[in-house]
Amino acid sequence: MQKIIASILLSIVFFSSTAQKKIVIEDIWQNYDFVPSSIDGFTPLNDGEHYARVDMDATGKPAIYVYDYKTAAKTDSVFTVSRDVPSDSAKYFSLGSFSFDKNQEHILIPTKNEKIYRRSSTAFYYIYDLKKKTLAPLSLNGKQSSPAFSPAGNKVAFVRDNNLFVKDIESGNELQITRDGKKNFVINGICDWVYEEEFGFVQAFQWSLDGNNLAFYRFDESIVPEYTVQFYNNLYPENYTYKYPKAGEKNSVVEIYLYNIQSGTTVKADIGAEQDQYIPRIKWTNDANTLCIFRMNRLQNKLELLLANASNGNTTVMMTEENKKYINIHDNLTFLNGNQQFIWTSQQDGYNHIYIYGLDGKIKTQVTTGKWDVTSFYGVDEKNGLIYYQSAEESPLRRYVYSIKLNGADKKKLTNDAGTNNASFNSTFTYFLRNHSDANTAPDYSICKSDGTVVKVLEDNSAFKKMIADYQLSKKEFFTFKLDDGSELNGWIIKPTGFKANKKYPVFMTCYGGPGSQQVLDSYDAFGTMDFNYLAQHGYIVACVDNRGTGARGEEFEKTTYLQLGKIETMDQAAAAKFLGTLSYVDATRIGMMGWSYGGFMALMCIGNYPDIFKSAVSVAPVTNWKFYDSIYTERYMRTPKENKDGYDKIAPLSSAANIRGKLLLVAGLADDNVHYQNTAEMLKALYKNNVVFTQMTFPDKNHGISGGNTRAYLFTQMYEWTFNNL
């Protein structure tokens, strides 16, 4: 009898030790238990043999340490909060970010950061002098935005209250360059809302290579219509009003100025008489007196690179690129040392490739060719005549790092591990930090030589991988299927825990689907992996398909949605749902769609246009008619509402709301500065008008990300509970 009891107890112990652990939403979105380790604050040093990154010292406070590339051994500390910051200020130094000057003799460190929009913020910045071992505030006159060292490291330009300033580090003098900055009227040196969001930068000034000139943007946004969001923090709501140009409305008038440090004079660059245009980038050439200005028409199908003389502002056109649909802006302009040629990436042959141009605007060499896209340009090692880049050459699902000679010869694959490989090179192109992962494996980080040889694994996330193994996660499996026209779409699927092929399961589809985006990628998604496995543990199949219009498959595939955002994408998602419904283990009567932002738009389009296919939809922060969204993004793909009335009004969730028969959950943040709550409010009107029954979740004081405190955990808990009851 004792042997039997012992055997039972042993079985219980074995079962409990091997049983699958259950995923808890709070552990994903509140405790962040499932976020793998990463390598933060990685900064290559000028000697090409060392790098700096943030780590904790023996007292648990952050510090910037120096490491050797060859051994990855810690060799020195350049800044520590424990040693270099007075104790009364130490609590403000999180070291979440830092930046060196060009000579790496000073460090800029932000404290008390205050977020503005997606990329912008203000902070009190401090300058640490590595030679003198002194720490001093950048300015005592208020928080600063987007500071940047001069090339010599003896000055710092920054923005405060919409004006541009220069601080002389040695003398301590603070010089005000502009004086007309005023909220919602004029901005100098940083971007307005729409440039920041859609052209992807905040710092709107640049030092010339010799530090004698400072080129900067001036935004006159006085004519731009205003939008107001409300915050409910006090007895009376607080109104926050800012400039937001919707599709077809007036944009800021943008000008480029050049300030000479020595003479104190400012000249205006000649960017033409047309004011209704874009200046998506500026970049100094290797001639310290010549600035390159990107000039793009409002339709965004013609881009000119202008060369501006810093002394008088006169300009000439260096290169012109035109497209029948639109041109994607990037940062891949690199002037070669002779300053007679430059590197540029373009889709002009149907795929994104690397070119070398002369200053006469003519192509000298097409460096990369093939029916695949270059997905990242890392830079050029002129000493050895090599360009480094990342591409989707082997598959749109995967990314590898390559080198190639300037003449397009001797291409070499530097990373071989299947999945997604990203690289961060040092300035001498002798080493790079590789970040690698695949769809089912958390990332690892390695120091590699420029030929791809692994020198040292810095982080393999072995502890994390061991921890999540207890959850026995279902793996992402990739698949393809054909549309009626013969074209193929890529997708992935996660099957339920304890999957049985002879059983039928409901399908929770997730989608983004916007132009140039990609969700079906062999890369690790920490939050998605656990979210979708939470659903898998509750008996759901989770699936995702990249529709036409998404990225890494060439220009024709990406731009097929031009002037009709939502039409083809929705057709493709419906086709994907029908394909999934043919699988023997899928319950075709229980297929739902979930999406956020563009994906929220897609979720509404799916349930409104294909009510016989989609039983439910979860739509978070959706656009409901593109006329409510911003000018730069929307007009790039749709032109203006006046030019494309049917594209706006007929292909929109508002126009298909009457068709909704399935279950709908609509989610939005009231303080969304990006996709305004107006979109949701208009959708509510359409739903009420057509007697559509739905569920709504509204989050006061929350922006497009709907996060902070318990918000995300609450949102996902309720969203999935709703799914369990309605799909």
Q: What is the pLDDT of residues 634-681, one digit of tens each?
A: 999 999 999 999 999 999 999 999 999 999 999 999 999 999 999 999
Instruction: Report pLDDT digits (tens) over 98-146.
Output: 999 999 999 999 999 999 999 999 999 999 999 999 999 999 999 999 9
Which pLDDT does position 15 carry in this prediction?
Answer: 45
Closest CA to 104 of 46, 62, 42: 46
- 652/5 Cα distance (integer angstroms): 66
Which pLDDT does position 20 carry in this prediction?
Answer: 87
- 158/110 Cα distance (integer angstroms): 12
**What is the bridge-based pairing of β-strands 663-669 and 695-699?**
parallel
Residue 314 · residue 231 · CB < 8 Å: no
**What is the bridge-based pairing of β-strands 616-620 and 586-596?**
parallel
**What is the bridge-based pairing of β-strands 586-596 and 541-546?**
unpaired
DSSP letter assigned to residue 602: H
DSSP state string for 339-390: SSEEEEEE-TTSS-EEEEEETTS-EEEE---SSS-EEEEEEEETTTTEEEEE
- 396/516 Cα distance (integer angstroms): 12
Which pLDDT does position 87 carry in this prediction?
Answer: 86
Residue 45 · residue 431 · CB < 8 Å: no
Instruction: Report pLDDT digits (tens) over 528-542.
Output: 999 999 999 999 999
Which regions of the chain are under pLDDT 50? 4, 8-17
- 556/571 Cα distance (integer angstroms): 17
Q: 673: which 2 tokens?
A: 């500065």
> What residues does 100 pair with on adjacent strands?
107
Label residues 642-654 b or e (16+ Cβ within 10 Å = b).
Answer: eebeebbeebbbb
Question: Active-site residues: which are they?
Answer: 597, 672, 704
Beta strands in 151-224 (DSSP E): 155-160, 163-168, 174-176, 186-188, 205-207, 213-220
Closest CA to 607 of 620, 595, 593: 593
Tokens 């900055």 correspond to what residue? 181
Closest CA to 348 of 378, 319, 332, 324: 324
C-alpha distances in angstroms, 200 versus 213, 241, 330, 657? 24, 22, 9, 33
The residues, ordered by sequence, that sit 6+ positions from 459 with a Cβ below 8 Å of its Cβ are: 37, 38, 39, 443, 444, 445
Residue 481 · residue 526 · CB < 8 Å: no
Residue 85 · residue 61 · CB < 8 Å: no
Which pLDDT does position 2 carry in this prediction?
Answer: 54
C-alpha distances in angstroms, 361 versus 91, 174, 380? 53, 41, 20
Counts for the chain of helices (H) and strands (E), in that order: 14, 44
Q: 336: which 2 tokens?
A: 């070669």
Domains, the chain: 475-726 (3.40.50.1820)
